[in-house]
Structure formats: C-alpha cells, structure tokens
C-alpha cells in the first residue's frame, strides 16, 4: 500500500514538482528523502548553444572557401563573443532557486513533533518548482517597489511548503515557508558614453508557525508582555488572537539572504528546525502556558 502510494506520488511530483496530500509522518519523511532531496538543476540549458558560434563560423569559412588565414582570427573573436554572451545570459536568465535546506528544516520538525501528532497524519503541500517563473510573478507595487529611470524591479514568490496537523491535545498546528526573490536591474551611462547594466538578486525567506489552541487548556500571554517580548526578539514577530473558546498564536520569522544555496547541507540534518526553535520560544517565554490539567505540547 505504502509502496504503491509512494510510486504514484513520486510520478506526479516528478511531472508537476508539486504535491498536496494527507499522509503519515514517516511517509512524508521518506517521500522528502526520495523525491525532494534528490532534486538537481538541469545540466543543460539552451543558452549553452552559444558556444557553437565559433564552430559555425569555421564551418561557414570552409564552405564558402574563404581565405584559410581568416580561420584563426575569426575563431578567436567568435569565441570571445560567445563567452561574453554566455556570461550575460547566465547572470540574467531566470533560475529555479530551489533551497533544499528549507525542506530539511521541515523534515527535522516532522521528526521532532511526530510523536505528538494525532493519528500520526499530516496534511502537506510541497512545491519544488522553479521560482523565477511567470506563474510566480509578484506585483512589485504591492511590496512597495516601483521601477524608476535606470532601475527595474522584477519579483517572484512561491510557497515552498505548508503543513497542517492536529496534536494529541486537540491543538491545530500549521507551518509554512514562502520564498521571494527580487531582481534589481540597474542601468547607468558612463562619462565615456557607454551604457552598463548590472543585475542582482535579493532573497527573502518567510517562515510561519501558527497554533490554534483551546483557551480552556492554555493561558495566553498578556498584550503588554507580548509587546515587550517582540521588542526583545526582533527576529520573530508573535501575535495572538482570542476567538473565545480558541486562541490563535502565530510566530513569524523573515530571513534576508544574499544567495540561495541550492545544494543540501548535510550539517543541517543534525540541527533543530526553525519551527522547533519557534515552539520552544513560545513555551519558554510563556506565550502559551498549559494549565494544571493540560499536558504540554512536545517539541
């Protein structure tokens, strides 16, 4: 049964780079290991064909019976041109930017929490598709970026994963990770009259953990104490919302990166997940404190 489901899900994932389903925690750990961690960027891209320019140039000379003395100069010039074209396209071309390490953080959290998951079932959506794709285009005006003379912005966003499950104490837990990249292209005219264009990327990762807990089972931090906590932990943003019988506790973290690592770092496998750190912070600083009759959430 599990083998059949793994094969079917793997086939769908290989085609669409996405999956959404509810499965046991051990199943997801195996699926991530076999289908997400094995991700590799394509070894060939169309712009590699620019290196055929020197070959085609030489073939053209031979076919047209042009003076053979021109072969070496033309081959050299066309090679230099090919190199610069390749370098330009490689920098400006759209990239997948799939950060495998964030999926390791998800796997580590599943390992730490699975013993406290009701019926051991986790609803999970995963997307390992290319980030810089037209379907993921983000309106730069919505994030306060407006292109001006000499500066152009392009932005893309994607939800890499979202997991939801019920804990044994009846609490509902949701964790998610959004990835955003902003491409900034700057064009300047030098005093010599030459125009130079530079392009750089700005990366942001958004992590969120949300808990829907029973107010009869947990005491929630007072607003003034929560304000002080947020001031001390600027790397986290914690909010609470009382819905009567239930209360939502949310903790968010934003990370800015200069570069996205697309290779899996083996050392991260032995670290606590960022979601485990979030859970620890909520409990340690009594954002949510179990009442006397309530067994605390494990992490």
Place of tokens 């990835």: 179
Q: What's the CA gap between 27 and 21, in Å, rounded?
A: 11
- DSSP class of residue 192? T
Do 267 and 150 lie in one domain? The reply is: yes
Structural domain count, the chain? 2
Query: pTM, whole model, 2 decimals?
Result: 0.84
Which residues have CB under 8 Å from 227's CB, separation 6+? none
Identify any residues that bridge with 19 across adjacent strands, giving them in sequence order.
126
Do 82 and 176 lie in one domain? The reply is: no
H-assigned helices in the chain: 2-16, 25-31, 53-63, 71-92, 100-113, 223-232, 274-284
Tell me which of 32, 61, 92 is where a domain ends: 92
Domain that holds residue 61: 46-92
Q: Is residue 183 part of a domain?
A: yes
pLDDT at 298: 58
Tell me which of 57, 92, 127 is where a domain ends: 92
Q: Is residue 6 part of a domain?
A: no
- Answer yes or no: is pLDDT of 80 > 90: no
15-68 pLDDT, tens digit per residue, is: 999 999 999 999 999 999 999 998 766 666 666 677 777 777 777 777 777 766
127-169 pLDDT, tens digit per residue, is: 999 999 999 999 998 888 887 888 999 999 999 999 999 999 8
Q: Is residue 201 part of a domain?
A: yes
Tell me which of 35, 70, 92 is where a domain ends: 92
pLDDT at 49: 74
234-278 pLDDT, tens digit per residue, is: 789 999 999 889 999 999 999 999 899 888 999 999 999 999 999
Report which secondary-structure segment, H or E, holds 159: strand 151-166
Do 210 and 79 lie in one domain? The reply is: no
Are the beta carbons of 103 and 150 closer than 8 angstroms?
no
Are the beta carbons of 263 and 99 closer than 8 angstroms?
no
Confidence class for position 4, pLDDT limits 50, 70, 90: confident
Q: Is residue 275 part of a domain?
A: yes
């Amino acid at each position: 049964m599990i083998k059949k489901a793994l094969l079917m899900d793997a086939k769908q994932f290989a085609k669409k780079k996405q999956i959404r389903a509810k499965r046991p925690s051990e199943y997801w750990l195996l699926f991530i290991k076999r289908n997400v961690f094995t991700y590799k960027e394509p070894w060939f891209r169309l712009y590699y064909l620019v290196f055929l320019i020197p070959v085609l140039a030489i073939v053209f000379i031979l076919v047209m019976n042009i003076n053979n003395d021109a072969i070496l100069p033309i081959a050299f010039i066309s090679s230099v041109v090919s190199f610069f074209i390749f370098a330009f396209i490689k920098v400006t071309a759209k990239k997948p930017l799939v950060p495998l390490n964030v999926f390791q953080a998800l796997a580590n959290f599943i390992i730490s929490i699975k013993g406290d998951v009701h019926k051991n079932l986790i609803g999970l959506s995963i997307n390992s598709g290319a980030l810089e794709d037209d379907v993921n285009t983000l309106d730069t005006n919505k994030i306060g970026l407006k292109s001006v003379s000499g500066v152009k912005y392009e932005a893309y966003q994607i939800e890499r994963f979202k997991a939801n499950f019920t804990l044994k104490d009846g609490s509902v837990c949701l964790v998610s990770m959004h990835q955003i990249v902003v491409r900034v292209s700057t064009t300047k005219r030098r005093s010599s009259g030459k125009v130079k264009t530079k392009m750089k990327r700005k990366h942001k990762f958004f992590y969120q953990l949300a808990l829907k807990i029973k107010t009869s089972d947990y005491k929630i931090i007072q607003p003034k104490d929560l304000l002080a906590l947020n001031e001390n932990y600027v790397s986290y943003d914690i909010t609470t919302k009382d819905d009567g019988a239930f209360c939502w506790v949310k903790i968010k973290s934003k990370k800015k990166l200069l570069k996205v690592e697309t290779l899996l770092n083996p050392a991260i496998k032995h670290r606590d997940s960022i979601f485990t750190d979030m859970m620890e912070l909520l409990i340690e600083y009594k954002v949510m404190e179990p009442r006397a009759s309530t067994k605390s959430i494990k992490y």
